[in-house]
Structure 1
Amino acid sequence: MARKANTEGADSAENAGRLKQIALTYKMTRRSDPKIGLVLAGLWIVIFGVLLAIGFAIGHPVYLGILGFFVAVIAVLVIFGRRAEAAAFGQMEGQPGAAAAVLDRIGRGWTTTPAVAMNRSQDVVHRAVGKAGIVLVAEGNPNRVKSLLAAEKRRMARIVVDVPVHDIIVGDGEGQVPLKKVRVKMLKYPRILSGPQVTAANDRLRAMGDLMSNMPLPKGPMPKGMRMPRGGKMR
């Protein structure tokens, strides 16, 4: 009985935490998307109403009503997730380190390392390794980050000669990729490496070391006032 009570208590706490997280996400989304509540409510009513009407038309209102309820809930959750993600990208856009937050959410199969190269102007290059190879994601001044990318590629060329390397410059200019499309861009790269090859590439890169490996970096966008330590060697 005690074990069952403990399990139920843990489940209740977990559910309460999940609901609190959803509420916080909704508040965050509403700040940049004030109509989110109306959109979600309207979507639910339309889907439920259409299926319920079909149910009455074919003589099965209860069955179609139940189905409509759950279909409407699923649709609302999907749209809410997409709009919440768009709102989060909108709030991060323009902040130093925003691309690192996007890479942190890219999903399974990728190993990400933030700030493998940086200069004093806070132009920064992040790295992700997966079955598509190595992806270097740069953010900052387009002219300055090109030299950072080139230097990082030269550094890696001595270690991972047999792994394809892609590069992305985050921005809205020509040849750049908007922050909200970085994940989609990366997932479109062809997967040509096997699991063991990805592991080997990660091991070699880890042994090479990174510029920021000895600095405690918070997850997500970096504070705007952050500066490189004096005496730190720029790559």
Structure 2
Amino acid sequence: MAEKNSSGAAEAPKKDLKTVKAEQKARRKNEKIEAKERKKAKKAGKRGFFKQIADVFKMTRKADPSVLWWMIGAFVAALVIGLVIGLLTGSPVLWTLMFIPLGLLAAIIIMNKKAEKAAFSQIDGRPGAAGAALSQLGRGWVVDDDPIAVNPRTQETVFRATGKAGVVLVADGEYNRAKKLAEKQRKHLQRFLPNVEIRVLQVGKGPSEIELHEVKSTIKRMKKTLNRHEVRAVEQRISSMPVNNLGIPKGVDPNKMRPDRKAMRGR
């Protein structure tokens, strides 16, 4: 009996050792599977990036067929610059090869600019499009999601952005009615902000208007008149002003009308 117990006790460790080895083997197998899955996901991510680039190019080319020639021109121009520098320094091949990535970058920048214009062309003329253009200003600007003034009957709108260039009002709609609506808002703001530059832009295709895709670049070029702390103070002052209770007309939803930022960045 004692011998049986001792043999059973001797078998127990052997059984445990087999179990441990089996678990280790299973763990290594799982780690290999996980590593393969991560590798596949990484490759899929890379394919996804290039697919997005291809999708952006197709969308842009559909709206502007000349984009291909612009991209080729930018790439060739970069190579020519590299070749000229190479000829002057005695290393034409080296400099040409060095400028290939710059040529590709120039082509992608051209595509992104054209893609941005194409994206805005899809919403141009719709109520609230000015808000979509202002949403692209990015850091340093405080942009109201909703229009600060609306003509409910004819759907002219005025959107506001506050930044280092002061306060910018962007009017959208029929020229005369939109101008009147924006001027009313400008005078109202001027009473509360007497020392702040308040500018008015009108979106459209007329001689005194700017196109939708030019709103961002036009505002970015404006002269800076406020520092970061003054911008915050102006925004706080605006927040304390009486709220315009006019509702947003049907069809105006700037949150749903913003162009695809990923498409603009090409990723």
- TM-score normalized by structure 2? 0.67
Pairing 1:88-127 to 2, within 5 Å after superposition? 88-113=119-144, 114-120=146-152, 121-127=154-160
Counterpart residue type for residue 139 of structure 2? R
- Identify which range, 178-187 or 134-143, moves more after superposition: 178-187
Distance verdict in 2 for CA 1:39–1:181, change over 3 Å: closer
Per the alignment, residue 227 of structure 2 pairs with 194
- Relative to structure 1, the CA distance from residue 110 to residue 58 in structure 2 (aligned partners, 3 Å threshold; closer, same or farther) is closer
| Shift in Å, 1:85 | 2.1
Matched, 1:159 2:159: no
User: Does residue 219 of structure 2 align to residue 219 of structure 1?
Assistant: no
Give the structure with higher Rg (CA): 2
Q: Which moved more, 1:60-69 or 1:110-119?
A: 60-69
Aligned pairs, number: 220
Q: Which amino acid aligns with 2:255?
A: K
Q: Which moved more, 1:52-61 or 1:135-144?
A: 52-61
The sequence identity of aligned pairs, in percent, is 33
Q: Which amino acid aligns with 1:75?
A: A
Give the 3 Å change call, closer, same or farther, for CA 161–15 of structure 1 in structure 2: farther
Given that residues 131 and 254 in structure 2 are in contact (C-alpha distance below 8 angstroms), is that contact kept between their aligned partners in structure 1? no
SS of the counterpart of 1:161? Answer: coil
State the alpha-carbon separation in 1 of the partners of residues 43 and 234 from structure 2.
43
Whether the 8 Å contact between 1:98 and 1:220 is mirrored in structure 2 is no
- Does 2:172 align with 1:136? no
- Shift of the 212–187 alpha-carbon distance from structure 1 to 2, 3 Å rule, reads farther
Is the 1:149–1:167 contact (alpha carbons within 8 Å) kept by the matching residues of 2?
Answer: yes
1:1-235 aligned within 5 A: 15=46, 17-41=48-72, 43-45=74-76, 47-48=78-79, 51=82, 60=91, 62-113=93-144, 114-120=146-152, 121-208=154-241, 209-211=243-245, 217-219=253-255, 221=257
CA shift, 1:187, in A, is 2.2
Structure ranking higher in helix proportion: 2
1:219 aligned partner, one-letter code = N
Partner-residue secondary structure (3-state), 2:75: helix
Residues 161 and 169 in structure 2, CA contact (< 8 A), matched pair in contact too: yes
Q: Which runs of 5+ in 1 are unaligned?
A: 223-235
Quote the offset at 1:26 in angstroms. 1.5
Note the C-alpha offset of 1:136.
0.4
Aligned to 1:229: none
Question: Displacement, 1:135?
Answer: 0.5
TM-aligned CA distance change 1:58 to 1:153, over 3 Å: closer
Task: Give 1:138 deviation, angstroms.
Answer: 0.1
CA RMSD of aligned residues (A): 3.4
Structure 2's unaligned 5+ residue stretches are 1-30, 259-267
**SS of the residue 1:135 aligns to:** strand
